[in-house]
Chains A and B, each alone.
Chain A
Amino acid sequence: MGDLLQIIVAKYNYWIYITLMMIGLYAMIGKNNLVKKIVGMSIFQTAIILFYVSIGVKKGATIPILEHGHGEHGHSAAALIVHAVDYVNPLPHVLMLTAIVVGVATLGVALALAIKVHNRFNTLEEDEILAQIREK
């Protein structure tokens, strides 16, 4: 039990991300309303971003902006020795900036499609739409 607790405390971020991802995935497959599915999709994407950001965390490190780096004396500051352990890993942050953008882009397109579907079928419930299609 102690071991399990140790594992959970050591990796609880990963656990939460997996929970969120399962919630999102379930909503995308199981929900009936088109906009609810889109909400699920956004949760799913955000969960993955949480996972990536968790990769970048380092204990005892600060945000990835160099100190003493201000102004024109940029070049003399380059001579200062920077230790990698003092700053969190910037690479996942960069990747996730891109992923957030992709997320909002997908969201916009998905909502546009949902509005278009609503214009045509006058409902957002998938089963009602399918029933309308079958009637024809």
Chain B
Amino acid sequence: MVWQLDLAILTLVVITAVGSLMVKDLLGAAILFGAYSFMMCALWSIMGAVDVAFTEASVGAGVSTVLFVAAVLRTSRRTRD
């Protein structure tokens, strides 16, 4: 485990998390959340949790994002916060 890489990904994770909550467009929030999940997945595979990373890649970054997008397109993209 290279701690510099680890730290860089951890920073990115926090940035994407804050970003997905700050962005004023729900579709953007959904996509940023997908990016967040994918960063998490990278982090976990660095930590040696391959199975968890695999699951997160398919569930968190894959299906969750699709579900978000589906729900957002069914409702509205508008948000005030």
Q: Do chains A and B touch in the complex (CB under 8 A)?
A: yes
Determine if B35 is an interface residue (Cβ-Cβ < 8 Å). Answer: no
Are A54 and B47 interface neighbours, CB within 8 A? yes
Residue of B nearest to A123 (CB): B76
* B: number of interface residues (CB 8 Å): 44
CA distance A123 to B78 in the complex (A): 9
CA distance A57 to B3 in the complex (A): 13
Expressed in whole angstroms, the minimum distance between the Cβ of B73 and any Cβ of chain A is: 10
A-B contact count (CB 8 A): 136
Interface residues of A (CB under 8 A from B): 9, 12-13, 16, 19-20, 23-24, 27, 31-33, 35-36, 38-40, 42-43, 46, 49-50, 53-54, 56-59, 61-65, 88, 92-93, 96-97, 100-101, 103-104, 107-108, 111, 114-115, 118, 123-125
Name 4 extra pairs, CB < 8 A, besides A13-B10, A43-B21, A53-B44. Answer: A23-B17, A36-B21, A96-B49, A114-B75
Interface residues of B (CB under 8 A from A): 1, 3, 6-7, 10, 13-14, 17-18, 20-21, 26, 29-30, 33, 36-37, 40, 43-44, 47-52, 55-56, 59-60, 63-64, 67-68, 70-72, 74-76, 78-81
